Amino acid sequence: MKTKKFWVLSVLFIIPLIFYILLLTGTNNFAKLSIVTLKVNDITQFKTDDLKSVSLDGKITILCFFGNDLDLVKNNALNLNEKIYKHFYKFKDFQFVAILPNGTETKTLKKQLGAITDMQKWKFAFGSPENISQLFNSLNTSYHIDKNSYSKYAFIIDKNRNLRGRSDDEDDGLMYGYNAETVAPIHNKMVDDVKVLIAEYRLALKKNYQKNETTTEGFIKSK
C-alpha cells in the first residue's frame, strides 16, 4: 500500500517538475532562424502604384521578384498567398513585397488575389531593372535573377533587413530562399521558418516586457 502511494505521489509531483524543467530548457535553447546575409539594401527607391515608398525596416518581409509578366508567375503568387500570406498577415509587423520593373501590369493578379484574401499587407513596388538587380545582388545569394527581373525564389527578411534562411538545410545545405514555383518547399520549409522568426520576435517582446516590469517594480520599491 505504501509503495502504491509512493508511485502516485511521484506521478503527481515529479513528472510535472520534469515537464517544467524541459520547458525551461526549450526556452533557453530556442532555435532561431539563421541569418545568411547581413543588411540587405532597403527598398525605399521603389514606388507602389500610388507612388508611396516601401521600406524593409521594422517589418518581417516576404520579398519576391516577379519580373515583368505576371501571367507567367501567377502560380508563384498564389502558392505564397495560400501557404504563407493567409496564415501570417495578421501579425502586426508583417508584409509581402513583390518587386517589379516599371510599367508591369498588376491589375489581373491583384484581382485574383483579392478575390480570396485581404490584400492590405501585399505591396507591389516598381523600379528600374538596374535597381532591381542591385537589390537582388545585395541578398548575396548563390541564385541568379533573369533578364526580365524574375527569380523563382521568395526570401524572408527580418526587421533589421537581414536575410534569414537555413545554414544546414537537409537538401540544400545553405538555403537563402524558397522556390515558389512549387508548393512543397513553401509548405514543408518556409511555413515553419516564418513561424520560427515570428516566435523569435514574440519571445524577445515577452522578455523585454518582463524586464521592464521588474525595473518598474524595483523603482517603486526604492521610493
Q: What is the pLDDT of residue 185?
A: 95
| pLDDT in single tens digits along all 223 residues of the chain | 555 555 555 555 555 545 444 444 444 344 789 999 999 999 999 999 888 899 999 999 999 999 999 999 999 999 999 999 999 999 989 999 999 999 999 999 999 999 999 999 999 999 999 999 999 999 999 999 999 999 999 999 999 999 999 999 988 899 999 999 999 999 999 999 999 999 999 887 776 655 555 554 554 555 5
Q: What is the pLDDT of residue 1?
A: 58
pTM of structure = 0.80
Q: What is the pLDDT of residue 21?
A: 41
164 Cβ contact list (under 8 Å, min separation 6)? 33, 34, 35, 36, 156, 157, 158, 193, 197
- Backbone dihedral region for residue 51 (phi beyond 0: left; psi -120 to 50: alpha; all else: beta): left
Domain boundaries, the chain: 34-208
For the domain covering 34-208, report its CATH number.
3.40.30.10
Q: What is the dihedral of CA 162, 168, 190, 207, to 10 degrees?
A: -60
Give CA angle at 209 (26, 19), nearest 5°: 25
- CA–CA distance, 192 with 187 (Å, rounded to integer): 8
